[in-house]
Structure 1
């Protein structure tokens, strides 16, 4: 950003003091430029094309070398060449341009950047010169209007001859500004739709030039007659392009508005911050209140006015355009707050517009915040920026919804990839293991604060089954040498139990609510294991006449009921639909994560028939692991007391 000036401009006039004119510089290295003998030199520049045009039509002033900005006192006067004009400009206009330049330069030197810029821009409009263009670019950067500063520096290099050092300085400024400026790329808008950024007209769609904006947050509006306006707030990063998909929908309810300028002045009509045409103007708009302003040449226009459009009828608004001497820039916080000027709503978010000099009432409103009204006094030719920060209204409904008691019941389908434990570890290539399937039912009771945060209790039941076939297993004969007999076993597992715990969650949304909740507690239950298998005999079998001796025996089905104790966590997310004031239906998914306090383990003392070996026992194997994960998608019905 361009900083404060290093040296004041010599205020006195005369050849001696002209040679000592200062060349102030800002922190960003962009000096304001005023060459020695600036008044006489600029006047010569402005008048030179006039004398030549009297003989042979408009001609640019002859090129003269410009001095380096850092050593103005050592060089001869070297005026900037004026831009070529297709139409000759009168001497009176040129002298007026010179007057506005001198006034603007003096204001910039005093730190009055906004009014000084206004004078320089007016000087450029009357007769563009190199010096006015350069200093206008410096002032725009100082005012943080980075996109306009970038355009002005590019215009400076494109339209005027500059020395090598001046070009180098301008290119450095352009490189820095491009990191502070982003681009908005619009896609899908209707052809001819009008584009507005932060209340400033940016042409029609598709735009001819890139929509450059300073990095930051901006209010984008796209309007076409017969359609609902497209309004969106966009964040644009410096040096980046933000793509915006524009969707314009045809109006469902509409009326007509006719806008007239009562004195017949040529003015453009702006509706809700978007230029829609020239007065008199008639167009179709949505039903409701609209903000209307007129803008003419220079400072001619009207302050914001309100027009109420009624369905299927024509509303006529007659306004008188007059001189608007000041500019007001309102920046509300929060950024989307609505802005009212003299009791007329002018839009949501940042507003920049022309007003009469004098005192105006500015009001900013936002849901959940205390409205703030201020009086601002604008001086003639001034540009004032007003930042209005709203205080949060702690009593507003949006922040302080009443607390409530809630009760909901959830039924879920349960999926468990595996129960884990020793049984799952023994399931090799020949083993077949099914996915665990079951059901989970939970009841939640809670206390929900107005913010949506809530705490509560939960309880429920769980049921799940899983089977393993042909897993590697063994038995140990009893009363014979304790040599394990290898074989295979089939297990049918069934988990059943109760859960109880505490919960914490966040509930948000009205029509389509969402719930984010997590519970923690204990699962107490048992795992029923029905087991059968085929195993080798540990003793040599004796053949029976007519039959072949078997070397294996079939273990008859046995059932064990080992107890299970787990700690659980069950995070869940649910999205729903409000059925009435008290009832809400939702669907979601819960993860049930189990961490063992006591693993369910087969009773290793249980005896089973073992053929000629007599009896045997299965080893004490865990039928569930230290950790188990289950997924439970389901539906829930919630009641609010």
Structure 2
């Protein structure tokens, strides 16, 4: 301390020995006078060891005019008050302002700074460090988060406080050790974020958050748990309210009983991400839902998309904004169908969508192939039966003649040829019978056992199914209700 005071005295004596700059004195004489008066009062307080009062006077002097003496005394006051980090910063500011200090002053400043460096540490913050929050250490404002670099802090027990408007403060006591980097992990007791909701047209509508009615109307602001949330607006507005953007008897944000008169207004579901100790603002546009749509399909239970969003299953009924909409119906095994609908105010639109079955790839046994095969089989069978009938008649006739000509089974030699013909006709009849039976059986099996593919089926809106195809004996039609 004595060395620093001697150095300042030498600087002051040298300054008095130098001739004054008259022009500069004329321009800033008032500030110089105020600066000198505060400086002298500061020195008087300093000599009385009233360092806090002295520091205040030196700061006032510096506010009028920066001088090396005032900056040096201010740093010395801060050191005496135990604010070693501020004292070190004051010396650094002095060096930046006066980079070429006299040798003795530079030696004194360097010695003081080396001593102060062993009395301070650095402090880094982790954990809950909300952007834009104000940081206080020992009730002294030290900047806004996030920090560019660790803070220089005097060693000892330090009270850390983080404040942000609209949220509870985060506090922590940290024991700062000199000469090292210290870390303070901040933990917020009230882990909340703030959500601000407004309607694009300034309509006061009821607010749903995560599917639950909050009882408030837009515009609204409140605390929520951090994370993902969904927001939807809904309500009713009469013509007067639509024009004035007000609901009679309701004020923005206040809880009230919902009115069920006028045009129904509703927004889509908006996803928002609420961050800890941060304000998230969402502006949602509601639309007039004063039109309803009813969608049915055949078959029922099909999945329904409206304007590209899956809505549910058919039959479905609900309110939608006025104007053009695209509906799409899908069901397994059926070709999806898309249709454009236009909704008008105060009118319900009913739409019935009929789905076609997905066409199947034709297999080997098509209807035409089944018919041709059965026809051929029955033709062969008919031919065999014809051979059986003709050969059987000839065989019976020849056998009757032989029976008369050969009493007792003894035939003369001239009847040998007739006897062979009778055997041939019998064999032919038997072969015709076998072929005829096989053909008839094959044709029947093809018609009964083989189901032809490629049948067309159509489902109408009324739920009536019509099916056209080839049956056992040709073209067939089937209807079911």
The answer to whether the superposition gives a TM-score over 0.5 is no
Q: Name which structure has the greater RCO, CA cutoff 8 Å, separation 6+.
A: 2
- Max Rg structure: 2
Greater strand fraction, Structure 1 or Structure 2: 1
Query: Could you tell me the TM-score, scaled by structure 1's length?
Result: 0.28
